[in-house]
A and B are shown apart, each in its own frame.
Chain A
C-alpha cells in the first residue's frame, strides 16, 4: 500500500506480478510442454513476430485502417443514437412510437448485418463502419434515453422558474447535463461493443489493411505468432479507449459527481 497504492487503494504491483507470472507460465507451457508454435506460440515467438511486423511497417497501416473503420461506426452511432435517445426520453409519444421498433431491432446481433452491409455498401470501409455502428448505436440510444427519463422533475421546474422555458433550452441546459453521466456510460459501453465488432467487420475483406483483417490473413498463412500480436494489439487498444473514458471523460466532464453516491 502506501504511496504505491492507486487512488482506489489497489496496489498496482500485485497486478504486475500476475501479468509476469502469466507470461512465465505461458512461456513454460509453450516452449517446454507443447513445443509446437502452431498450437501455442510462446511469448518470445510473439515478441519476435512483433518486432518483424513493426520493421515491415504494415502494422501501422493496419492500425490506421482499423481506426478509420471504428471512427466511421462510432461517429454514425453518436449522430444517430444521441438524438434518438434524447427525443425518446423527452417526449412520451415519441417514446411509445419508437420503443417497439428499437426493441425489435436491438436483439439482432450486429454481425448478422454483414450480408446486407456488403450488398448495400460493397466491400468498402463504410461497410465495416456500418457493422460497428449496428453494435454501438443501441447502447447509446438506450442509455441516453434512460438518462433523460431519469432527470429529476425538480431540476426541470427550477429551470422553468428561472426563465428556461423552451423545450430546446430545457434539453440543452437542464436535461442533457443531468443525463450526461448516463449518456457517457452508454458511449463507453458502445465503444467496447463496437471494438469487439471490428474483427468480424474486417474479416470479409473490406480492405487490405486492418487489425482484424490481418488477424485472419496471418491465420490463413498459419503464422500464429503474428495472430497473437494482433490479438494483443486489439486488446490493448480497447483498453486504452476504456482508460480514456475512465480518466479523461469522468474527470473533466463529470467531476461534479465526485462525492456523490449516485
Chain B
C-alpha cells in the first residue's frame, strides 16, 4: 500500500528588495493509495511550487515529503509528471516518446515498444504511433504525455493543470479518459487545477489552497458516484459548496 505524506512543507524565495516571499506556509496533507486528489486554488497560490517539490524537481526550505516510506530528495521513477505546457520531445515519434523512460532504463527496443504499444492502446492513439508531436492536436499531445508518464509504472502521478490549454470540449473528453485510465491503472494521482468544475468531476478529495502564502484551507471529500453527471443537482451542490468555501476565504483576506 503506497501513500504520500506531506509534513509541514515551507518554501520561500528571496526577492530583489532583500525580503523573502513565502510561497508555501506549513503545508501538510496525506494522499492514500489509489486516491485521486485535486489541489484547487487561484493562480499564484503555490500549487505548482508544491507539485514541483513532490516531484523532486525543487527542494523545500523545510518540511518533508514521504512517498511509500521513503523521503523524496530528487526526481524518482516512482513519480510520474504531466506538465502544464507541451513537454513531448518533438524530435521523437509518439511511440519513442512513450518508450523514453524504458529506453533510459536500458530496456531493449522490442520490449519497450511492446509496453509502449499497450499504453498507446490505453489512450486510443495506436494509429498515431509513428507521428511526430507536431502532427498531433493539443489534446492528443497531452494524452501521449500521460502515457509517457505511466510507462515506468510510477506509484504516484502528478499532473500540473494538464488540460489548462485545451478547449472545453476536448477538456471534458480528456477528463473522462483520464478517469478510465485511472480505473484501469489505479495510480495515486495528485492533480492541480484552478477549475472547480474539473476538481469536482475528477477527484475523490479536493484540497483547497489559499494564496500568499500558500496554505491549505480545507479538505473536501467528494463522494459522488462515478461516472459523474455535470448537470445533476448533486454535482451542482458540491460545486456550490466548494465555491462558497473559496469565496469565504478570499473575502477574509
Contact = CB atoms under 8 A, between A and B. Distances in A.
Interface of A: 154-155, 157-165, 169, 173-174, 177-178, 180, 255-260
B132 interface: yes
Interface stretch (B97-105, B117-125, B209-217, B228-236): B97-105
Contact of B75 (A165, A174, A255): A165
Interface stretch (B24-32, B80-88, B166-174): B80-88
B194 to A, nearest CB: 19
The 9 lowest CB-CB distance pairs between A and B, nearest first, are A162-B101, A163-B104, A158-B87, A161-B81, A177-B91, A259-B134, A256-B132, A160-B75, A154-B87
Nearest to B106: A163
A206 to B, nearest CB: 41
Contacts of B40: none
A163 B134 contact: no
Interface in B168-209: none
B152 interface: yes
B8 interface: no
A169 B79 CA distance: 19
A177 B89 contact: yes
Interface in B66-119: 74-75, 77, 79-81, 83, 85-87, 89-92, 100-101, 103-105
A106 to B, nearest CB: 29
Nearest to B79: A161
A194 to B, nearest CB: 27
Given A161-B79, A162-B149, A256-B132, 13 more contacts: A157-B57, A157-B83, A158-B89, A161-B55, A162-B101, A162-B104, A163-B101, A163-B152, A169-B104, A255-B132, A256-B90, A256-B92, A258-B132
Contacts of B132: 255-256, 258-259
B: interface residue count bin: 20 to 34
B148 interface: yes
A23 to B, nearest CB: 43
Contact of B90 (A157, A160, A164, A257): A257
B89 A155 contact: yes
A162 B80 CA distance: 7
| Chain A binding surface, main DSSP class | helix
Nearest to A161: B81
Contact of B83 (A158, A165, A180): A158
Given A154-B85, A155-B89, A177-B89, A161 B149 contact: yes
Given A154-B87, A162-B152, A259 B135 contact: yes
Nearest to B57: A157
Nearest to B148: A162
B81 A256 contact: no
B99 to A, nearest CB: 10
Contacts of A169: 104
Contact of B134 (A158, A177, A256): A256
A178 B91 contact: yes
Contact of B104 (A164, A177, A180, A256): A164
B134 A257 contact: yes
Contacts of B92: 177, 256
B115 to A, nearest CB: 13
> Which of A162, A173, A174, A180 is the most central at the interface, judged by chain B CB atoms within 10 Å of its CB?
A162
A111 B55 CA distance: 53
B89 A161 contact: no
B85 A173 contact: no
Contacts of B100: 159, 162, 164, 173
Contacts of A157: 57, 81, 83, 87
Contacts of B55: 161
A161 B90 CA distance: 17
13 contacts: A157-B87, A160-B57, A161-B55, A161-B75, A162-B100, A162-B101, A162-B104, A163-B75, A164-B100, A177-B89, A256-B90, A256-B133, A260-B90
Contact of A158 (B77, B79, B81, B103): B81
B91 A154 contact: no
Nearest to A180: B91
Contacts of B134: 256-260
Contacts of B79: 161
B1 to A, nearest CB: 23
Interface string B44-67: 000000000001010000000000
